[in-house]
Amino acid sequence: MAKENTPKRTWSKPPLIKNPTIRWIVVIAILAYAIMAFLTIQSSIDPARISKGWPRTVRLLTNFVQPDFFTRIKDIRIGVLESITMTVVSTFVGVILAIPFSLGAARNIAPRPVYLFSRTIIILSRTFPEIVVALLFVVMVGFGPLAGAITLMLATIGFIAKLMAEDIEDIDESQVEAIKATGASWPQMVVYSILPQVLPRFIGLTAYRLDINFRQSAILGIVGAGGIGAVLKTSMSRYDFDTTGAILAIIIAIVLVLEIISGYIRQQVQ
Amino acid sequence: MAQTNNMLEIKNLEKRYKTGDLALSNVTISVPKGEVIALIGPSGAGKSTLIRCVNRLIDPTAGQIILNGEDITKLGGRSLRKARRKMGMIFQEYALVERLSVMENVLSGRLGYVGFWASLMRRYPQSDIDEAFRLLSRVGIDHFADKRADALSGGQRQRVGIARALIQGPDIMLVDEPTASLDPKTARQIMRLIIELAKENNVAAIINIHDVALAKMFVSRIIGLQLGEIVFDGTPDELDEDMLTTIYGEEDWEETIQKVEDEDEEES
């Protein structure tokens, strides 16, 4: 070759942290933390307690595989119906209330004050875990599915509004411009240029949220906010693990059905 | 109230962006009813800004735009939307609402005339629907009425864009690089269609166009914009090599001028 004197140029991926000293300090610190964390847990591992709990574990698992649907059929039916009601109501109301916040929280179409207001509401609704909000509403409106439904509705608003606002911020502006240029009003602009662009995602997210709300409704019962969770908790504390198994099987079945439905819907709207 | 017969008067228009860039300065253009004007100039000269100022998609910082005797720069809200109905816009990348059907896209040109609920439920007056079908068959795509806009080819989409602009019943069409995303043959067909339809409906047009040869071929008045100022306003014949150098900078223009003559022969 002609260019024999050209030195061979090597290349390797530049490291994430350039300074080698800092890089090694970070690596060692992470390792040290992991080891110490393990040692902390290890001290609380008590072989005696584990061996005492072992028969219970075995009973739990054996009962799970032979679930009893019938002993508590009435409670289970009420619980499931309550959960489904909570899910449908909270998803429906929440999604509708989320629409104005979705538009308000999209930087590209909302005036600054509206944007800040909507973002604040979304952040508030997403800050607290559902279970904490549910505890609050149990105090405010009493035990039962109403507390759970309000909780899930608020969570739905935050969830849908945040994700939809991000989708609206990513739309193709030229379509909006074209509709504005025809002399369309603001609501017409939304319906004709924004809605068609975000509708598939809106429907997909709604279906997904329906499925999340059902699963959440199973948890909220544990703090007394209605639904199948209450029945689940009672069966656990009574050591009726066969009933627990039955409830879990029902929850799994419903979640699967919802998953299939929402998957189908998302496929259809694209 | 009209001190002139001109349908559109742009007077001393200035646009300064928030960044401080002066996009347009002292632009004055008179457009008589039904006249088609090509607006040429290098990228960044302010062509798009100028036509977007006319329908106030961009707000000018100074100057006047007088459409049929009314100063558009002073309008807002409802009266601005009413003025926009009289100005149809055609876009470079078609700007059709992709997930709506061809028919819905065309009918969206009537949004300024129908109420919110009627437009939401797609209940347009029969006269609008008749006109939509007439325009679609005029531009040659009436058999695609129920197809989704994103299923169409570039040339077909631009035809939908043209129908959408014309169904507004405009006095002027603002056309932003109508051919820039099209192949040369389709580009000419689209350009010819725009000119023909402007004549048929006695609609004026301002057409932003990169392709100087195409502009010279189709229009009788050309305006050259450079760094936001008008540097040329005349007939295609007056646009010679020196003028092109003024507008675009030093380049060998022999080909461009030559090509136009060849094409003229080919056309006839």
Report domain extents, chain A.
Answer: 20-63, 70-269
Give the DSSP letter string of B202-265: T-EEEEE-S-HHHHHHH-SEEEEEETTEEEEEE-GGG--HHHHHHHH-S---HHHHHHHHHHHH
Contact at CB, B91 and A183, closer than 8 angstroms: no
Confidence of residue B255 (pLDDT cuts 50, 70, 90): low
Nearest to A197 among B55, B88, B99 (CB): B99
Output the six-digit token pair for A269: 């709207």
Rounded to 5 degrees, what are φ and ψ at B205? Answer: -150, 145
Rounded to 5 degrees, what are φ and ψ at B112? Answer: -70, -15
Nearest to A146, CA basis, from A92, A95, A82, A94: A82
pLDDT > 50? residue B266: no
Confidence of residue A189 (pLDDT cuts 50, 70, 90): very high
What does each C-alpha distance from B234 to A11, B33, B208, B210 come to in angstroms? 59, 17, 15, 17
Contact at CB, B111 and A183, closer than 8 angstroms: yes
pLDDT for A55: 85
pLDDT for A158: 93
Q: Cα(A48)–Cα(B96) distance, rounded to whole angstroms?
A: 71
Element (H, E) at A222: none
pLDDT for A47: 81
pLDDT > 90? residue A61: no
Residue A176 CB: number of other CB atoms within 10 A? 22
- Ordered structural domains, chain B, with CATH: 1-86+172-178+205-268 (3.40.50.300)
Chain B, residues 68-87, CB within 8 A of chain A, namely: 81-85, 87
Amino acid at A95: V
Does residue A198 or residue B241 have the better pLDDT? Answer: A198
Per residue in A45-84, is it b (16+ CB within 10 Å) or e — as a string? eeeeeeeeeeeeeeebeebeeebbeeebeebbebbbebbe
Rounded to 5 degrees, what are φ and ψ at A7? Answer: -70, 145
Nearest to B116 among A174, A178, A187 (CB): A187
Which of A170, A171, A175 to probe the B interface (max B CBs under 10 A)?
A: A175
Q: Cα(B72)–Cα(B83) distance, rounded to whole angstroms?
A: 7
**CATH topology classification for A70-269:** MetI-like fold (1.10.3720)
| Closest CA–CA distance from residue A105 to any residue of chain B (Å) | 22
What pairing do the DSSP bridges indicate for beta strands B204-208 and B221-226?
unpaired
The residue count of chain A comes to 270
- Convert the pLDDT of each residue in B173-182 to its tens digit: 999 988 888 8
Sequence-ordered strand ranges (E) for chain B: 8-16, 22-31, 36-40, 62-67, 70-71, 87-90, 172-176, 204-208, 221-226, 229-234
pLDDT for B2: 44
Confidence of residue B257 (pLDDT cuts 50, 70, 90): low
Chain A, residues 162-181, CB within 8 A of chain B, namely: 172, 174-175, 177-181
Q: Cα(A148)–Cα(A82) distance, rounded to whole angstroms?
A: 10
Nearest to B166, CA basis, from B205, B192, B209, B214: B205
User: If you measure CA to CA, which chain B residue comes closest to A197?
Assistant: B99
Instruction: Please report the number of interchain residue pairs, chain A to chain B, with beta-carbon separation below 8 angstroms.
Output: 82
Q: Cα(B169)–Cα(A58) distance, rounded to whole angstroms?
A: 79
Nearest to A178 among B82, B87, B95 (CB): B95
Element (H, E) at B99: none
pLDDT > 90? residue A51: no
Nearest to B100 among A182, A183, A196 (CB): A196
Nearest to A216, CA basis, from A202, A229, A235, A230: A229
pLDDT > 50? residue B159: yes
Nearest to A188 among B57, B111, B164 (CB): B111
Rounded to 5 degrees, what are φ and ψ at B180? Answer: -65, -25
A184 interface with B at CB cutoff 8 Å? yes
Prediction ipTM score: 0.86
Confidence of residue A270 (pLDDT cuts 50, 70, 90): low
pLDDT for A123: 92
pLDDT for A102: 94
| Closest CA–CA distance from residue A188 to any residue of chain B (Å) | 6
